[in-house]
Chain A
Amino acid sequence: MLLGMSQMPLWDATSGPVWSVADLNRYLRQLLESDYRLQDLWVSGEISNLSRPASGHIYFTLKDAQATLRCVMWRSEVIRRSFLPRDGQAVEVHGQISIYEAGGQYQLYADTIRPAGEGALYQEFLRLKARLEAEGLFDPQRKHPLPAWPGRIGVVTSPTGAALRDVVNVLRRRFPLAVVILAPTPVQGAGAPASIVAALEAVNRHARPDVILLVRGGGSLEDLQAFNDEGVARAVAASQAPIVVGVGHETDFTIADFVADRRAPTPSAAAEIATPDRADLSAALQGARLALAASLGARLERLRWSLADQRSALRFASPGARVANGRQRVDELTRRAVELLRHGLALRRANAAGLAQALRAVDPLAVLARGYALVLREDDLSLVRSVQQVAAGDRLRVRVSDGTFGAEAKTPASGNSRARKRDPQNQRR
C-alpha cells in the first residue's frame, strides 16, 4: 500500500498524473484479487434483497446486525446448485471478493451457498460416523439378510409424506400378498429422532414384521438430521427385524444408511429391494405346476413299461384274456393321463381321483414289488377278489413279487376288502 502511494501522489492537488475512474477501479480490483485470503472465503449472514432477473444470475445482500455485503452468483453456478436461498435465510456463502468496475462496487462473487450451520452439522456427522464405525456398527457381519418372504412389512415414516405413498404403490404392484404395518412418526424437526426411535421399537415389538422400511423423501442435510442422529442409528442397529433405509437425498449418505441392513437410494427402491416381484412368483408357480405334471407323467410312462415286462411273468397265474384286457385298460388310462397332464394342467380333482381309482383297480401287478400280494384259488387259479369267493378250508395260492406259496383259508374275514388287500400279512401262514 505504501509502495503504491509513492507512485500515485494523489495528495498533490497541483501536479502529477490524474487517474481515470476506470483505472482506479481496475487498480483496486487487482489489489483485492491479489489477496489470497479474499479469494477463497466463507461469509455468514442473512439473505436480503434477493433478485433473480431473466439473465439467471442471482443478486442479493448478505447482512448481519452491523453491516451489509453485496453478492452475486452467476447463472452457471446457480444451475449447479440444488439449494437456492430465500430472503431472510441465514446462510454461509463461499466465493471471492472483487470489484464491479463499472459500478465501483466491491462484492462477493459467490459459488456456493449453504444453510447456516451446515458446515458444523457436517463436521458433527463425520465425527459420529467415525465413532460408530470404530464401534463396529457398520460391520457387514452384523447385518441381517432380508427375508425371502416378507409377509409383514413394517414401515416407519410420516403418515402424510410422499414416501409412504411411494412405498405403498410399489408394494401394491410387486407384492400385494403382504400386510403393511405403518408406525407413523415425524421424520424431521426437533422431536423426530426420539419419535423414530419409539416407532422402531413399537413396530418391532407389536407388529412382528419380517422386515422394516425406514423411509423419507429427499431434503437438505438439515432436513435429514434425524437420520444422522445417534439414537436413531442405535435403534436401527438394535432392531430385531432387518431394516432397509431408503432416504431420498442429494447429499450422499446418512448415518442410518450405514447402520441399516440394506440401504436404498429412495423409498420406492427400499420397497423394491425388500420384496419379491409378483411376476417372479407367478413364473415360479408356473414352473412348479409344470414340474408337478412332469413328475407324474414320467411315473406313468415308467409304469407302462414295467407292466409290459411283467405280463409274461404273470401269464401262468391268470387267464390270458384278463391280463391282456387289464393291460390294455391301463395302457389306455395311462395314455389319457399323460395326455391330460401334458395339455390340461387344470386336471380336475375329480378326474385325478377317478383315474387313480381306475389305475389301482386294474393294476395289481405293478405293485407286487412294493409288498402287495395276489391271491388265487388253488383249484382253478382264478383271482380272489371277494371274501365270497373263499370258504374256510379252501386252498389258495399267494403270489408275491419273487414267487408263490400255498395257503389255506381260515374263517373268511368280513371286514373291508381294502384293508385285507393292503395287508399281505393276513394272507400268510
Chain B
Amino acid sequence: MDTINTDVAIVGAGGAGLRAAIAVAEADPSLSIALISKVYPMRSHTVAAEGGAAGVIKGNDSFDNHFHDTVAGGDWLCDQDAVDLFIHEAPRELTRIEHWGCPWSREPDGHVAVRPFGGMKVERTWYAADKTGFHLLHTLFQTSLKYSSIERFDEYYSTDLVVTDGRCHGVTAIEMRTGQVRFFRSKCVIIATGGAGRVFPFTTNGAIKTGDGMAMAYRAGVPLKDMEFVQYHPTGLPGTGILITEGSRGEGGILVNKDGYRYLQDYNLGPPDPWPRKKAMELGPRDRLSQAFWHEQKKGRTIATDYGDVVHLDLRHLGEAKINERLPMVRELSISYAGVDPVHDPIPVRPVVHYTMGGIDTDIDTATCVEGLYAAGECACVSINGANRLGSNSLTELLVFGARAGEGAARLALSGVAEVDQQQVLAAAGAAEDRVLQLFRKSDGAESVSGLRREMNDAMEAGAGIYRSADTLQACVDTLQQIRERYKDVLLADKSNVFNTDLVEALELGSMIDVAMAMAASALQRKESRGSHQRLDYTDRDDATYLKHSLAQYSAEDLPAIAYCDVRITRSQPAERVYGGAQE
C-alpha cells in the first residue's frame, strides 16, 4: 500500500474542509496539506444551500439577539460558550469571504444586504440571491487554488481513520480512478464530510451525504452526539425532495393548506397579521413548522398528490420582479421539477429531511477525544445547533469552525508529535486496507447494496420521522440490527478496479447503517420531546432528566451504549420557546 506523508489530512472538501485547508495554509505555508474528497470540491453539498448565512452586521441587530435566537431555536440544548464564540466570529468570517470575492447581494449604497429567516428576531442573513451555498463553495474552492501547500486528492473515498493508543495517525482512502488504497499518514486529521441525510429516503441531501466521516470517527471510538436530532425542512418539493429555501418565506411567502388557510396560526405561531412579523407564522423555526404540517395532515387539511400530501407555498404576491431578483433558483427549480411557475401558482411543498444537528462529539476547539482528530461542519456536533438548528446558521458554522479546526490542527502539527510505534501504525492501516479488499474480493453473498439501502431508508422513515414513539423506534432499531447483520452478506456485482461505484456505495451503506443505528438508539433512549425530537409517548420537555447531550458509543456487534453529558449553560436558563404574537 502506498503511503502519502503529510502534516494535515483533511477529509471532505466542501465548505468546512476548504475553509480548514485555507486556515492551515495561512497559519504556516510550510505545513503540507492533503485535502481528500470523494468528489471534486465544487460537487460538495454545500453547493445546494440556498438562503444565506447568519452574522450580525447591521445597527438594528446585536450579538445578544443572535445568541438568544440560536439558543431558544435549539430548545436550550446548545452549548452556550460555543454559541457565544460562534456569533462573535460570524461577521468576521462572512466579511473574510466577502474579501475573497463572494458575490453577496447588496444594498443600494453598496453594503452587504441581509434578509430575515425563521426564528430570527432581527434580519441578519447575508445572501447571494438564493444560491448562497453555491457561491460560498465556489469562492472557497477558487480561493484555495492560491495556496500551493494545499494538495488535493479529488475522488478519493476515505475508508478508515488509523488510530493507535488514542491517537490519530492518518486516514486510508481508495483512489477511485485506480481502486488502490492509499495511506495518508499525517500528524492530524480534520473530518469535514458533512451530514447523513441519505439515511432517510426523502431528503434534500445529495447522493454523497452518507455520513462517512461520522461513521469513521464513531468506529474509531469517538461518540456521536445528539444524533436523535434530525431536522425536517418544512418546504421541499414532493417526489424529488428538492429544497425550496426558507428565504422564500423571508421575502414574504406564505404557507396555506387545502382551504387556502394560513394554518400556522393554529399552532402557537400566529396571529397571521401584521405580516411579516419576525419569529412568527411562516418565520417560525423549522421544527415547529414541520410538526404543524404533520398535524394538518392528521386533520385531513393537506393536499393529496402522487408523491404524498403537500401544502402550498404562495409567493405570487411578491411579484415577478422580486422573485427574479431574490429567488431566481426557486423559480427555476419549481418550473423544472414541479411544473409550477411561482409567479403564477403556489408551489407544492412538504417537510423533508434536511440536516443532522448531531454529529462527531467535539469540544469548542473542534477537537475530539482522539488526539490529533478534529471535526467541523455538519458532520460535527460542537454544539451550536442544539435540538433544532436555526436556518442560515449552518453556512456560517462551517466557516467559523472550519477555520478553527484548521488553526487547531496547524498548531498541533507545528508543536511536533511524539514518536510512535510505526509497525503498529502500519498494521492498523493494513487492517483498514484488508477490510476493503475483503469486501471487493468476496465471491459469495445474497444481499445487494441497493436493496438493503432501500430497507434501511424505509425503516428510518417509518420509525424515526417527525414524530416518534417507543414502538416505532424499537421496531426501527430491530430492523436496523437485522440489516446490519445482513450487510455482512453483501455481494458486489462490480469487480473492476476502475471507478467502482458499487464498491463505494457498499462502503457508504456501511457508514449509513452505523449512523442510522446511532440516530434510532439515541432517539429511543431520550424519553422527552425537545426541538426536532418529538415523542408521541413523552410529549413534554424534561429538563430535570434530559437537559443533556446524548453520546452514542459504537459497538461492533451490539446496539450503541448511550451516555449523557451536561449542556454548557452560561447566560440563558432554559425557558419556554415563544413565537408569534405571544413574544411581545
Q: Do A and B come from one complex?
A: no
Measuring CB to CB, which residues of chain B are less than 8 angstroms from any residue of chain A? Answer: none
